[in-house]
Amino acid sequence: METKTVEFSNPVLHGKLKVPGDKSISHRAVMLGSIASGQTNISGFLPGEDCLCTIDIFWKLGVTIDREGDQVTINSPGIEGWKSPDGPLYAGNSGTTARLMLGILAGSNVKSVMTGDSYLSKRPMRRVIGPLEKMGACITGEGDADRLPLTIVGRQLKCIDYEMPIASAQVKSGILFGALQAEGETRIVEKSGSRDHTERMLRQFGAQIETNDREIRITGKQVLTSCDVIVPGDISSAAFFMAAAAMLPESEVSFVNVGLNPSRTGMIDVMNQMGATVEIVDQKGENGEPYGTVNVKSASLHGIEIGGDMIPRLIDELPIIALMATQAAGKTVIKDAEELRVKETDRIAAVTSELKKLGASVEETEDGMIITGPTKLSGATLQSYGDHRIGMMSAIAALVAEGPIQIEDPSCIAVSYPNFFDDLYRLTGRS
Ligand code: SPQ
């Protein structure tokens, strides 16, 4: 197994950072651009492994997609013109690809088999298959069809009235994609507001969709109109360097072109509550996805409680928030975050175990963690668990630890942030 050693001596972070495109938005742009007939141009696309899997799947369905760096051109015959693929559709490590594609394929007229890597094949799929079955979907697999591989026989779906038992943008989006092809009006009531990129982008592609607090209504059989999509930088990727800049004395980093969709900015709110100096200096793009520049300066941090409706707004940032909490004075309590247990790995168990190896005071709870700080961290060998967010948390830990950190299996970081180490070394003045 590949191991990477990361070590710094009194690092300071300085400069400007333009993080790669938002992963959630990049997936959805390829999906909606392939459902619509005609040409869709995407700029700022994330060329990470997860999103490349999504592109590959649409190639297999008969959509022409050209990519040069972060520019993607889609020429699609529209969902009606797709063909059944010759082989399996491989979603790699990407839960977003698998769960959203289940909704799309269920209402298409193709037959396909969805597969994934060993990590994705352990993640639950019934959460999206359940409501899709109520719409008439035909999705089969081993046992109760909760895991990949799954066979999807596309057919005419009908609308549904669905109250979501969990706060999940993937489940909501899977249902919305099914509803787009279904007969009648679908109504979804969210448990807690999750990221709304699908709703925003459906509007951009000309669909009628009504949202009112936690209720969403969409009528099926709508024809989408292809368009141009601009993908802002991923705040979940920026979060690693935002936390680093806050923790390291004398640091100051300006994050340009970073996505500021309110359903994703929990990290900024939590950093402010912890005493960090975070400032949004401009904000643009109100109609599609808001984005702007965020400045972060080092500050002395203190512990807080994070739970409830805040959780879906920062779910992917919790590993780096946990690391930041080891450097904050007092107790940080993370609760209501049991969804972390079904990510690329069980992120509650993984974060607790790896932070303990560094000497942090962390207690695992059923739905989160309790971290007491500040603690001086020391070097150690850390596992990534094949999870990009645990890999990046481990690399950022090297900025605050005394002694080297060896990261086992760091290649998973390419799933969402292919140039992560280049940016890390550039901001610390080592490039
Ligand atoms: O795609 P994947 O593997 O599920 O990615 C993760 C991540 O950390 O990048 C989660 F593991 O992000 C999810 C996120 O946690 C992406 C996502 C989306 O694009 O809709 C929504 C969230 O998942 P969920 O289950 O809460 O809907």
CATH number at 147 reads 3.65.10.10
Per-residue pLDDT for 27 more than 90?
A: yes
Dist. CA 378 → ligand 1 center (Å): 31
Classify strands 215-219 and 209-212 as parallel, antiparallel or unpaired.
antiparallel
Structure tokens at 367: 């739905």
Beta strands in 307-415 (DSSP E): 330-334, 361-365, 368-373, 377-383, 401-408
**What is the share, in percent, of the chain residues with pLDDT greater than 90?**
98
Answer with the one of 229, 247, 280 that is the final residue of a domain: 229
374 upstream amide cis, omega within 30 of 0 = yes
In the chain, how many domains are there?
2
Do 185 and 220 belong to one domain? yes
Q: Pocket of ligand 1, candidates 27, 96, 309: which has the most ligand atoms within 8 Å of its Cβ, to mutate?
A: 96
Q: Do 156 and 169 reside in the same domain of the chain?
A: yes
| 3 state SS of 100 | helix
Q: Are residues 267 and 218 in the same domain?
A: no
Cα–ligand 1 centroid distance for 220 (angstroms): 25
Q: Are 298 and 427 in contact (CB under 8 A)?
A: no
Task: Kindly state whether residues 57 and 203 are assigned to the same domain.
Answer: yes
Residue 378, pLDDT score = 98
Instruction: Look at ligand 1, atom 26, and give the residue with the nearest C-alpha.
Output: 168
The residue whose C-alpha atom lies closest to atom 15 belonging to ligand 1 is 316
| Mean pLDDT value of segment 91-95 | 98
The helix-helix angle for 197-204 and 23-35 (nearest 10°) equals 40
Q: What's the CA-to-centroid distance between 188 and ligand 1, angstroms?
A: 19
Atom of ligand 1 nearest to the CA of 24: 19
**316 is an active site residue:** yes
CA of 11 to the centre of ligand 1 (A): 31
- Residue 287: pLDDT band by 50, 70, 90 thresholds? low
Looking at 199, 229, 259, which one is the last position of a domain?
229
* Phi, psi at 231, each rounded to 5°: -100, 120
Q: Which residues contact 223 (CB under 8 A, 6 or more apart)?
A: 36, 78, 206
Position 255 pLDDT exceeds 90: yes
Residue where the block lists tokens 């010759």: 86
Query: Atom of ligand 1 at shortest distance to CA of 415?
Result: 9
* Cα–Cα distance, 51 to 298 (Å, whole number): 33
Shortest-distance atom of ligand 1 to CA 98 = 1
Clarify whether residues 152 and 99 are in a common domain.
yes
Same-domain status, 191 and 60: yes
| Domain identity same for 214 and 108 | yes
Of all protein residues, whose CA lies closest to atom 8 belonging to ligand 1? 316
195, 229, 263 — which closes off a domain?
Answer: 229
Look over the chain and give the mean of its residue pLDDT values, rounded to a whole number. Answer: 97
The tokens describing 64, both together, are 């022409």
Residue 1, pLDDT score: 85
What are the strands of the beta sheet with 3-6, ordered from one edge?
3-6, 401-408, 377-383
Please give the full DSSP string across 105-155, using - where no structure is assigned. HHTSS-EEEEE--TTGGGS--HHHHHHHHHTT-EEEESTTT-SSSEEEE--
Please tell me the predicted confidence (pLDDT) of residue 285: 86
Confidence band for 264, pLDDT divided at 50, 70 and 90: very high
Co-location of 266 and 343 in the same domain: yes
Do 279 and 388 fall within a single domain?
Answer: yes
Pocket test for ligand 1, best of 315, 385, 389 (most atoms within 8 A of CB): 315
Whose C-alpha lies nearest to ligand 1, atom 4? 95
Which of 50, 316, 387, 423 does the annotation list as catalytic? 316
One domain, residues 181 and 241: no
Question: For the residues 214-235, what does the mean pLDDT come to?
Answer: 97
- Which pLDDT does position 430 carry in this prediction? 83
Measured in whole angstroms, the distance separating CA 403 from the mean position of its chain's CA atoms is: 31
Contact 169, 177 (CB under 8 A): no
Q: Are 367 and 294 members of one domain?
A: yes
Encode pLDDT of 310-357 as tens digits: 999 999 999 999 999 999 999 999 999 999 999 999 999 999 999 999
Domain range for 110: 23-229
Q: Average pLDDT in the 29-53 region?
A: 98
Kindly give the pairing relationship between strand 64-68 and strand 14-17: unpaired
pLDDT for res 309: 97
* Cα torsion 113, 116, 121, 126: sign: negative
Q: Please say if the pLDDT value at position 276 is more than 90.
A: yes
Distance from C-alpha of 357 to C-alpha of 179, rounded to nearest angstrom: 46
Per-residue pLDDT, 301: 98
Whether residue 208 sits in one domain with residue 303: no
Pocket of ligand 1 (CB under 6 A): 23-24, 50, 94-96, 168-170, 173, 194-195, 315-316, 339, 343-344, 389, 416
Residue 329 burial (C-beta neighbours within 10 Å; 0-12, 13-18, 19+): middle
pLDDT(75) > 70: yes
Percent of the chain residues topping a pLDDT of 70: 99
Q: What is the separation, in whole angstroms, between the first and last Cα of the chain? A: 26
pLDDT of residue 54: 98
Mean pLDDT, residues 184-204 taken together: 98
pLDDT at 236 over 90: yes
Taking CB atoms within 8 Å and a gap of at least 24, the contacts of 62-68 are: 63/34, 65/30, 65/34
